[in-house]
Amino acid sequence: MCAPVEGLCESANLNQIGDPCQPRGNRRGRPNIYYDIQMRKFWLLLALAACACRQQEARRDPAPPAATPPAAAAADNRPAIACFGDSLTAGFGVDEGQSYPDVLQRELDRRGYRYRVENLGESGDTTQDGLARLSAVAGGKPALVVLEFGANDGLRGQPLANTEANLARMIEALQQTGARVVLAGMTLPPNYGPEYIRQFEALYGRMTAKYKLALIPFLLVGVGGDPQLMQRDGLHPNVEGYRRVAGTVEKAIEPFLKKE
């Protein structure tokens, strides 16, 4: 219980603020001025804080727009020249960009021919392996195909009748797509014997006559057998050798190319 403070009860307006001399529990619902002031302060501060938050939110920089994904590379709509073959086409033994199809692409670009050269060579492929990849090549609808297969068949001593039949199937399928086929002929090392080599070389001539193809009689002409232009295995050209092969192929296909 608190005792009245002399003079305070006489001067205070009890109707406005309540009797401060009465204990808290005996004020019978009269408002507590201290509590009322504190609550008013609380609600005022709360309102100010909410207002400040709204102002801060309004000033906040808007979120940056979602990043626009990079535009997809424009499709290369140039007619395709498909170089379809084995390791001689793939560029076995040299760095990327040094195969004959790569060199051919740069030369055609330099001369103003708008064609896309595709390197579809796979090291070790025989004509049978070429057949397994044929649908993918034909599906690309190339304008021209440099078909280079047979060397691995011959080096493995496979029956030449099988090689010829496989080449025929590839040529027919490619021609059905409207592609011009240029056939790249090959030969074999002397140790395979003159008769086998003669028969091997002759099958390219028969294919050319039967299907009315353009023929490169020997893809490695001027390169094969020259140690300055061949790798140590004696089977694959080096960088300079592939450059010359590209020149040979370019001469063979140029009659069929168009400048826009």
Tens of pLDDT along the chain (260 residues)?
A: 444 434 433 334 444 444 444 444 444 445 556 555 565 655 555 555 555 545 555 555 555 566 655 555 578 899 999 999 999 999 999 999 999 999 999 999 999 999 999 999 999 999 999 999 999 999 999 999 999 999 999 999 999 999 999 999 999 999 999 999 999 999 999 999 999 999 999 999 999 999 999 999 999 999 999 999 999 999 999 999 999 999 999 999 999 999 87
Angle in degrees, CA 220, 221, 225, rounded to 5? 75
Query: Which active-site residues does the annotation give?
Result: 87, 233, 236
Q: Round to whole Å and give the CA distance between 195 and 201.
A: 10
CA 122 to chain centre: 19
Which phi and psi angles does 227 have, rounded to 5°? -65, -20
Please report, to the nearest 10 degrees, the dihedral formed by the alpha carbons of residues 226, 229, 231, 236 taken in order.
-90
Domain ranges of the chain: 80-256
Class of domain 80-256: alpha beta
Q: What is the pLDDT of residue 106?
A: 98
89, 151 contact by CB (below 8 A):
no
pLDDT digit string (tens) for 152-188?
999 999 999 999 999 999 999 999 999 999 999 999 9
